[in-house]
């Protein structure tokens, strides 16, 4: 499943090879980081977790998601677009009716980005996010991506929303003696570009997530809460499990990360091992309700 996602993201990235990706500003999200938020009442779900259910029945699936206790949703751009074949305002009404907020979406940032930013802003979304760049041959490639992020961030800021980038493990693996993630963070304007830390991929790369939160306070505003199977080796990249059954101590990590500016806690799971995606989403929600 995780492999399939990488293939999907590679296709999306290929639509705009020559990527020039950019970023956004802090102002509409709340300028200062919350020092303590009750995570148990403020957590979201990345819809990639339940993509097959969403493809069959988006309204019914989102109704189930709301019943599990999710208050926020982060989307992705699939064959039916960001809004699952609905108008942006129609999707917003569905979210309102279910008591949830559509806070962000991963999307192809190289196609119709001005339109996407305007539609997202119209319904009160907070972010549009670049989901994937892929491993590169040169560190200069990441410098070019940083420049593009600044451009996309400016577009988002103009519309009153923000731009972000979601990492995978390749950003935390040295390339030509430098860390790609450092290049992206050091060469983007903090007033335009935020980052979504996929904690699973940071751990998979052998890095300490908290060290990055400490080094870049208030840059990682969103986090993917995705657990990694106990005993998984460094070579085992696809080892996603139900929250609380894996090796990552999210209770401590998320509490500490809040102090460094993390504001959105978004569940994602990519492998299910004996359960279904929708039941995994239910179990993940039960875990998140135990955090404070």
Per-residue model confidence (pLDDT) at position 274: 92
What's the whole-model pTM score? 0.89
Q: pLDDT for 50-81, tens place per residue?
A: 999 999 999 999 999 999 999 999 999 999 99
Q: pLDDT for 8-58, tens place per residue?
A: 455 444 433 344 333 333 334 434 444 688 999 999 999 999 999 999 999
Burial of 289 (0-12, 13-18, 19+ CB in 10 A): middle
- DSSP bridge pairs for 105: 75, 128
Q: Phi then psi for 38, rounded to 5 degrees?
A: -75, 95
Mean pLDDT of all residues in 235-261: 97
CATH architecture of residue range(s) 2-36+109-277: Alpha-Beta Barrel (3.20)
Give the confidence band of 106 by pLDDT, cuts at 50, 70, 90.
very high
Q: pLDDT for 211-230, tens place per residue?
A: 999 999 999 999 999 999 99
Q: Where are the domains of the chain?
A: 2-36+109-277
Helix (DSSP H) and strand (DSSP E) numbers for the chain: 11, 10
End-to-end CA distance of the chain: 31
**Which 3 state secondary structure label does DSSP give 147?**
helix
Mean pLDDT of all residues in 118-130: 98
Return the H-helix or E-strand segment holding 140.
helix 139-159
């Amino acid at each position: 499943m995780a492999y399939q996602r990488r293939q999907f993201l590679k296709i999306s990235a290929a639509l705009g090879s020559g990527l020039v990706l950019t970023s956004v500003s802090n102002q509409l999200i709340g300028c200062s980081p919350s020092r303590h938020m009750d995570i148990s009442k403020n957590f979201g779900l990345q819809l990639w977790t339940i993509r097959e259910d969403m493809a069959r029945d988006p309204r019914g699936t989102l109704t189930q998601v709301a019943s599990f206790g999710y208050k926020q949703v982060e989307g992705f751009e699939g064959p039916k677009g960001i809004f699952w074949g609905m108008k942006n305002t129609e999707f917003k009404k569905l979210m309102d009716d279910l008591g949830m907020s559509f806070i962000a979406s991963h999307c192809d940032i190289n196609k119709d980005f001005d339109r996407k930013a305007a539609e997202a802003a119209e319904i009160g979304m907070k972010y549009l996010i670049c989901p994937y760049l892929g491993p590169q041959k040169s560190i200069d490639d990441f410098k070019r991506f940083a420049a593009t992020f600044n451009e996309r961030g400016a577009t988002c800021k103009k519309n009153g929303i923000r731009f972000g980038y979601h990492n995978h493990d390749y950003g935390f693996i040295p390339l030509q003696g430098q860390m790609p993630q450092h290049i992206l963070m050091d060469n983007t304007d903090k007033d335009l570009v935020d980052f979504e830390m996929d904690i699973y991929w940071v751990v998979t790369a052998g890095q300490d997530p908290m060290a990055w939160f400490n080094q870049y306070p208030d840059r990682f505003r969103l986090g993917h809460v995705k657990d990694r199977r106990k005993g998984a080796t460094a070579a085992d990249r696809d080892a996603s499990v139900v929250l609380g059954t894996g090796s990552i101590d999210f209770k401590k990590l998320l509490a500490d990360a809040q102090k460094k500016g993390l504001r959105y806690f978004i569940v994602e799971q990519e492998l299910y091992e004996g359960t279904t995606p929708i039941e995994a989403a239910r179990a993940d929600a039960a875990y998140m309700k135990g955090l404070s």
